Amino acid sequence: MTAKHLPLPSWFARRTLPRLSPAWGWVVFVARLATAYLLVYFLAPLLPAEWNVYVVQPLAWLALAGQAWGLSRLGWAEWPQPARRLLITAALIGLLQTAAFLAAGLLTSFGYSPYAHRLPALIGNLWFMLAGLCGLEAARAALVNRLAGKSPLLALALGSLLSPLLLISPTVWGHLQTPQQILALTGGRLLPLLAEGLLASLLVWLGGPLPAILYRAVWLLFEWISPILPNLNWLLTAFIGTLVPLFGFFYLQNSLPVESTAVQEAEQPAAPAASLNSWWWLAVVLVALFWFTSGLFGIRPYVVSGFSMKPTFVAGDLVLITRVDPAEVQVGDVIQFRRANSYIVHRVIEIQEENGRRVFITRGDNNNVQDDPVPQEIVEGKVVRYVPQIGWPIIGLKKVIQWIF
């Protein structure tokens, strides 16, 4: 799946538009990106809804796409011509991601789409969606292909960051208050957007904006057209939304463009894809740790930060929590329950029945007084294993964050 860069026509570059210097290219690119962001998220919402959604925002995105195309024609960020196989592969990955979401919906549930489906509204929504898609992927293609020659890792990292930067409204960040909201946003939106952005960055490197547009358009078209959609929790959304793009990325990474002479190949036979493998595997490990931490696999870690359970557990110990049916909890079990915005891990010393529902009396092994009664609804799980003293880095990071903010 080779990628050939589109040559800039000599008569066009020489007689019509001069090649743009790197510095001025960055000024134009950043200024246009900032202008699109301000228009979409700060100025357009002040207008009537129809002008905001169907006029100002689409035109802002299309202007961004036009600017990125202009930068490519000026030689600042020339992107390659997509091979037919790459276009087909991109569309198939999009179909695989859509099929995975549909399969998850079949296993859980479906709900009605929030989008209007009358023909005029449907046409307007598709215009809005496609304009945003073209603007984002054209900007990503310009950014990635400008940086890829000197720093492939930086190019793909910044290219993937464009997705959450341009697609998550700043008002969303401002409304985050509880850890649960932060976790839901991270899993349900941020991680999938970063994974999609990583795959899209590779696609624009290999073939310009079109393969990335095809990949993302498959699911987006289904989402905006279908009257019913999978009704998934954020854990499943995070799992599918990161797993499929990462699978596509690993499948395509051997197609990374390598421009080297025979002498260079003899001196340094390793391709860029091989040299970057350790970073991709690190990304996979971090995503897997996130899923594990979130409890997707039935077990969730928790770092003990106090001494109420001494000598059983002390500060810095990592305990593993598994979900449990309240009817299976017995006296002597150590359970985790939620009070306000904090979690407590204490031992069950007595079980009471109130109106057919269980209430647990708990106490820390190092405490002299019992906790307030724990109704079964706030029980999060039961401790099944623990690893001593490996949680101190997390405690230290938490203290630093509290000190800063």
Backbone angles phi, psi at 269, to 5 degrees: -70, -15
Q: What integer best gives the mean pLDDT of the chain?
A: 81
Q: Which CATH number fits domain 299-404: 2.130.10.10, 2.10.109.10, 3.20.20.80, 3.20.20.10?
A: 2.10.109.10
Beta bridge partners of 346: 335
Q: Is the pLDDT of residue 175 over 80?
A: no
Q: Which candidate, 128, 144, 108, 112, places its Cα nearest to that of 256?
A: 144
Exposure of 143 in the CB half-sphere (CA atoms within 13 A): 28
CB 40, CB 61: distance < 8 Å: yes
In residues, how long is the chain?
405
**Mean pLDDT within 145-169:** 90
* Domain boundary assignment for the chain: 4-294, 299-404
User: Is this structure's pTM higher than 0.75?
Assistant: no
Predicted confidence (pLDDT) per residue in 266-309, tens digit: 444 444 444 455 555 555 555 555 555 555 556 777 888 888 99
Question: Which residues have a Cβ under 8 Å from the Cβ of 274 and sit 6 or more positions away?
Answer: none
Predicted confidence (pLDDT) per residue in 200-244, tens digit: 999 999 999 999 999 999 989 999 998 888 888 777 788 888 888
| Residue 219 identity | W
CB 189, CB 241: distance < 8 Å: no
DSSP string, 198-234: HHHHHHHHHH-HHHHHHHHHHHHHHHHH-SEEE---H
Which residue is it, tokens 């991709």?
280
**Please, which pLDDT band fits residue 2 given cuts at 50, 70 and 90?**
very low
First-to-final CA distance of the chain: 49
Instruction: Render the burial of 354-392: b for 16+ CB within 10 Å, e for the rest.
Output: eeeebebbbbbeeeeeebeebebeebbbbbeebeeeebe
Predicted confidence (pLDDT) per residue in 14-45, tens digit: 444 556 678 888 998 999 999 999 999 999 88
Q: Is the pLDDT of residue 402 over 70?
A: no
Predicted confidence (pLDDT) per residue in 372-398, tens digit: 999 998 898 899 888 887 766 655 655
Most confidently modeled of 158-162, 270-274, 293-297, 320-324? 158-162
Q: Is 243 left (phi over 0), alpha (psi -120 to 50) or beta?
A: alpha
What is residue 369's DSSP assignment? Answer: S
User: Rounded CA gap, 208 and 71, in Å?
Assistant: 13
